[in-house]
């Protein structure tokens, strides 16, 4: 007679992941408490840190663990434009590159979480919209992921779904990058038109009209493409 695996043996890795998440959130709260910092103070400290030579690497790390911290992907993308993208077209393109790399490391983290924690959550017997998209993703991963990104479906949910279904990571990430790049450029351009420090501090930000106009044009193009795909769907 074999011994039944203990709770630790059955769920050890999941408990480690939970402990990591709780430790991450708890350490941030403890740091703020010990230094008597408000949320605004902490955000401004992070921004100052991102402006150092190691800022792009720190940004990528923060974005990469975002699925574990529930930070907003849109807010981080706008912040990249404001911090890294202002000043010139070259800086704007660098901010886009940082964001594409960071967001798709983040998407890979969400994919792996879905692949590990979500096995069996979606079955052939499930009905409704989720099962419809799940079937499409199983049958044609690249095209389905690309369309879901173009349609601006929730970023993490698409990544989790790909993990749940255990589709090819390379196919998923390729479709994700190509489907989201226009929206990324638009959001980064919006971010480059404003000062994130002014917004956090409650000041009226000065607008960079060139970056703002560029972002608006790209967003309109992205929305037009999204609308076209919706009509096709």
Q: Which residue has the higher pLDDT, 28 or 93?
A: 93
Residue 102 counted as domain residue? yes
Task: Share the mean pLDDT of the chain.
Answer: 78
For residue 17, the number of C-alpha atoms closer than 13 Å in the C-beta half-sphere is: 15
Question: Is residue 153 situated within a structural domain?
Answer: yes
Q: Which domain holds residue 165?
A: 38-232
Per-residue model confidence as pLDDT tens digits over 109-145: 989 988 887 666 665 555 566 677 788 888 888 988 9
Residue 13 lies in a domain: no
62, 76, 83, 105, 206 from 59: Cα distances, Å: 5, 9, 10, 12, 24
pTM metric for this prediction = 0.75
Task: Report d(CA 62, CA 232) in Å as an integer.
Answer: 36
Count of domains forming the chain: 1
Residue 49 within a domain: yes
Q: Is residue 5 part of a domain?
A: no
Q: Is residue 11, in this structure, part of any structural domain at all? A: no
Radius of gyration of the chain (CA): 20
Residue 50 burial by CB count (10 A; 0-12/13-18/19+): exposed, middle or buried?
A: buried
**Cα 7 to Cα 4, 150, 190, 206, 211, distances in angstroms:** 9, 42, 49, 56, 54
Q: State how far the Cα of 91 lies from the Cα of 85, in Å rounded to an integer.
A: 5
pLDDT at 19 over 80: no
Residue 118 forms part of a structural domain? yes
pLDDT one-digit tens code per residue, 159-215:
998 998 889 999 999 999 988 888 888 888 888 887 776 666 666 656 555 665 666
Residue 187 lies in a domain: yes
pLDDT at 23 over 50: yes
What is the crossing angle of helices 39-50 and 55-64, to 10°? 130
Contact at 8 Å (CB) between 200 and 44?
A: yes
Mean pLDDT value across residues 1-29: 63
Chain segment 65-113, per-residue pLDDT in tens: 888 776 778 888 888 988 898 778 888 889 999 999 999 999 999 899 8
């Amino acid at each position: 007679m074999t011994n039944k695996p203990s709770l630790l043996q059955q769920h050890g890795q999941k408990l480690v992941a939970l402990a990591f998440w709780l430790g991450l959130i708890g350490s941030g709260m403890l740091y703020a408490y010990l230094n008597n910092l408000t949320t605004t103070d902490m955000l401004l400290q992070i921004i100052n840190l991102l402006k150092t030579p190691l800022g792009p690497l720190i940004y990528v790390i923060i974005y990469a663990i975002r699925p574990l911290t529930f930070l907003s992907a849109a807010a981080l993308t706008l912040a990249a434009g404001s911090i890294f993208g202002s000043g010139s077209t070259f800086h704007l393109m660098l901010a886009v590159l940082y964001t594409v790399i960071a967001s798709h490391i983040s998407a890979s983290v969400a994919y792996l979480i879905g692949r590990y924690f979500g096995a069996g959550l979606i079955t052939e017997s499930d009905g409704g919209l989720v099962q419809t998209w799940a079937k499409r993703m199983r049958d044609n991963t690249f095209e389905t992921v690309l369309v879901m990104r173009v349609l601006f479906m929730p970023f993490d949910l698409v990544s989790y779904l790909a993990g749940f279904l255990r589709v090819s990571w390379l196919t998923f990430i390729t479709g994700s990058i190509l489907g989201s790049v226009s929206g990324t450029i638009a959001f980064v351009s919006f971010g480059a038109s404003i000062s994130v420090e002014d917004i956090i501090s409650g000041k009226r930000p000065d607008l960079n009209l060139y970056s703002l106009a560029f972002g608006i044009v790209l967003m309109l193009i992205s929305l037009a493409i999204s609308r076209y795909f919706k009509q096709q769907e």
